[in-house]
């Protein structure tokens, strides 16, 4: 047999075998066992540890067939395709086994594991074929349509998916009704890049109604390691990569403080410097564009946090903001006592020309500021937000006066 003839024979056999495998696999999918409509619960963590390489009936048949084929070709002396033939069955086996596990998890309504499996599976030429078959399955079972869309958007890694679209999918999962148009958009826009981890966590929290699911630790986009040390996950402890900004971590968490007005022994400056040693953009100037962007955003956020928490007035306003109370309204007040008092102080500052009298006024105003500060703390503890806002207004006036004095000094 000539060499060329051997090649043709091999290729023909290969094509036939892959087609048959695919047919066999998809046939298995079209008639899934019917399951009852269960809500989206994540199974206990033990189920996630199921081994991925569970061999399915179809997988084993195709493997044996391909092994036979490999032997045949060796006999026919086609050495070029030796590794190729051997490599692809392994790939196929992996793919099929992954898919069988995936199918089982999917049918058991195990959303989280579906995501994990699809995320871990690499892009493979057969995978798109399997995805199409899965799509058919999903459309049979309308309740999972939204789930499929979210999953497909997570798996594709080429394009950048806007986080908002993912949140749209989350919302639609709840309503269980997705127009076909949205599905087309999902299949067109490919992938989240590496931004999927914060959104993935959000999605996870959304879909899980049991606490077991929310125990999922954030993972580093670079090395995949979970957050090990306590405290906010701004930089990975294992590989040192800076993580994307998570808006749900508030300023107090960044500095490891409780959400209170008083911060004694907070050592803000020390902690601030520690964070900057890990997050400063100068440290990542030789890394990827993405990491540079993360570093810039994270260090800017840490700087914001430091400045907000170090000034009592800004800290007070931030505390109220976290409670959902907006203190910065542009309204006019006509409280005669406060305003008359402030007028007097400001006039005194204008008239005082020597540093001695200015210092005197400064001490007085600082005392008054302390008093307002205490009253804010009291009001905040009692959740008396009206009084808290009033106290903030007084604090702001005194702060302005102190600024003017400092300018003059």
Partner 1 sequence: MLRAAGWRLLRLGSEHRAPTAAVAARGYHERVVDHYDNPRNVGSFDKNDPTVGTGLVGAPACGDVMKLQIKVDDATGKIVDACFKTFGCGSAIASSSVATEWVKGKHMEEVLSIKNTEIAKHLSLPPVKLHCSMLAEDAIKAAVKDYEAKKAKLAAGNAETTQTEKVAGA
Q: How many of the other CB atoms lie within 10 Å of CB of 18?
A: 17
Measured from the CB atom, the residue of 380 and 397 that comes closer to partner 1 is 397
3-state secondary structure of 332: coil
Q: How far is the CB of 277 from partner 1 (least distance, A)?
A: 37
406 binds partner 1 (CB under 8 A): no
Instruction: Give the number of residues written for the chain.
Output: 409
Q: How many residues bind partner 1 (CB under 8 A)?
A: 23
Measured from the CB atom, the residue of 140 and 344 that comes closer to partner 1 is 344
Q: How far is the CB of 305 from partner 1 (least distance, A)?
A: 23
CA–CA distance, 119 with 343 (Å, rounded to integer): 65
Measured from the CB atom, the residue of 289 and 330 that comes closer to partner 1 is 330
Q: How far is the CB of 316 from partner 1 (least distance, A)?
A: 13
342 binds partner 1 (CB under 8 A): yes
Which of 336, 353, 356, 383 is in the footprint of partner 1 by CB under 8 A? 336
159 binds partner 1 (CB under 8 A): no
Measured from the CB atom, the residue of 287 and 396 that comes closer to partner 1 is 396
Beta carbons of 109 and 143 less than 8 angstroms apart: no
338 binds partner 1 (CB under 8 A): yes
329 binds partner 1 (CB under 8 A): yes
386 binds partner 1 (CB under 8 A): no
CA–CA distance, 10 with 31 (Å, rounded to integer): 33
Q: How far is the CB of 164 from partner 1 (least distance, A)?
A: 28
188 binds partner 1 (CB under 8 A): no
Q: How does 365-390 read in b/e, with b if 16+ C-beta sit within 10 Å? A: beebbeebbebbbebbeeeeeeebbb
3-state secondary structure of 384: coil
Measured from the CB atom, the residue of 242 and 390 that comes closer to partner 1 is 390
Q: How far is the CB of 336 from partner 1 (least distance, A)?
A: 6
3-state secondary structure of 215: coil
CA–CA distance, 347 with 191 (Å, rounded to integer): 63
335 binds partner 1 (CB under 8 A): yes
Measured from the CB atom, the residue of 335 and 370 that comes closer to partner 1 is 335
Q: How far is the CB of 389 from partner 1 (least distance, A)?
A: 9
397 binds partner 1 (CB under 8 A): yes
* Count of alpha carbons within 13 angstroms of residue 120, beta-carbon side: 14
β-pair partners for 192: 160
Instruction: Mark 299-328 with x for binding to partner 1 (rule: CB under 8 A) and - for no binding.
Output: -----------------------------x
330 binds partner 1 (CB under 8 A): yes
CA–CA distance, 79 with 45 (Å, rounded to integer): 47
343 binds partner 1 (CB under 8 A): yes
Q: Where are the alpha helices (DSSP H) in 222-267?
A: 251-254
408 binds partner 1 (CB under 8 A): no
Give the angle 168-170-171 at the CA atoms, nearest 5°: 65
Torsion angle defined by CA atoms of residues 100, 102, 103 and 105, in that order, rounded to the nearest 10 degrees: 120
CA–CA distance, 169 with 161 (Å, rounded to integer): 12
286 binds partner 1 (CB under 8 A): no
3-state secondary structure of 192: strand
Measured from the CB atom, the residue of 334 and 353 that comes closer to partner 1 is 334
Of the candidates 146, 144, 137, the residue with the CA atom closest to the CA atom of residue 165: 146
Measured from the CB atom, the residue of 114 and 391 that comes closer to partner 1 is 391
Q: How far is the CB of 338 from partner 1 (least distance, A)?
A: 7
157 binds partner 1 (CB under 8 A): no
Q: Is the dihedral of CA 70, 73, 77, 82 positive or negative?
A: negative
CA–CA distance, 395 with 233 (Å, rounded to integer): 34
351 binds partner 1 (CB under 8 A): no
What letter would DSSP give residue 235?
Answer: B
3-state secondary structure of 208: coil
| Residue ranges binding partner 1 (CB under 8 A) | 328-336, 338-340, 342-343, 346-347, 392-393, 396-397, 399-400, 404
């Amino acid at each position: 047999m000539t060499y060329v003839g051997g090649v043709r024979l091999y290729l023909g056999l290969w094509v036939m075998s892959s087609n048959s495998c695919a047919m066999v696999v998809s046939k298995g999918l079209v008639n899934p066992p019917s399951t009852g409509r269960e809500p989206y619960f994540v199974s206990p963590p033990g189920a996630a540890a199921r081994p991925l390489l569970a061999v399915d009936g179809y997988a084993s048949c195709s493997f044996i067939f391909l092994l036979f084929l490999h032997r045949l070709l060796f006999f026919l002396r086609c050495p070029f395709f030796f590794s190729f033939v051997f490599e692809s069955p392994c790939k196929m086996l992996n793919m099929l086994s992954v898919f069988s596990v995936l199918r089982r998890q999917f049918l058991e309504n195990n959303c989280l594991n579906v995501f994990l499996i699809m995320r871990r599976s690499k892009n493979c030429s057969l995978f798109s074929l399997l995805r199409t078959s899965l799509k058919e399955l999903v459309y049979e079972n309308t309740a999972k349509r939204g789930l499929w869309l979210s999953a497909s958007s997570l798996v594709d890694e080429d394009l950048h998916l806007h986080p908002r679209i993912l949140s749209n999918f989350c919302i639609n999962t709840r309503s269980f009704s997705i127009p076909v148009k949205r599905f087309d958009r999902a299949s067109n826009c490919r992938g989240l890049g590496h931004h999927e981890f914060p959104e993935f966590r959000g999605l996870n929290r959304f879909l899980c109604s049991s606490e077991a699911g929310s125990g999922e630790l954030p993972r580093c986009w670079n090395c995949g390691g979970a957050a090990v040390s306590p405290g906010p996950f701004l930089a990975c402890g294992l590989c040192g990569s800076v993580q994307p900004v998570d808006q749900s971590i508030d300023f107090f968490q960044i500095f490891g403080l409780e959400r209170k007005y008083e911060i004694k022994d907070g050592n803000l400056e020390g902690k601030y410097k520690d964070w900057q040693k890990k997050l400063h953009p100068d440290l990542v100037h030789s890394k990827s564009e993405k990491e540079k962007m993360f570093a810039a955003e994270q260090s800017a956020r840490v700087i914001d946090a430091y400045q907000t928490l170090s000034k009592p007035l800004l800290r007070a306003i931030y505390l109220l903001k976290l409670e959902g109370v907006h203190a910065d309204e542009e309204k006019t007040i006509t409280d005669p006592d406060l305003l008359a008092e402030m007028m007097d102080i400001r006039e005194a500052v204008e008239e005082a020309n020597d540093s001695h009298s200015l210092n005197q006024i400064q001490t007085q105003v600082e005392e008054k500021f302390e008093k307002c500060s205490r009253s804010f703390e009291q009001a905040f503890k009692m959740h008396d937000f009206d009084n808290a806002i009033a106290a903030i207004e007084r604090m702001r006036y005194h702060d302005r006066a102190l600024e003017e004095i400092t300018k003059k000094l």
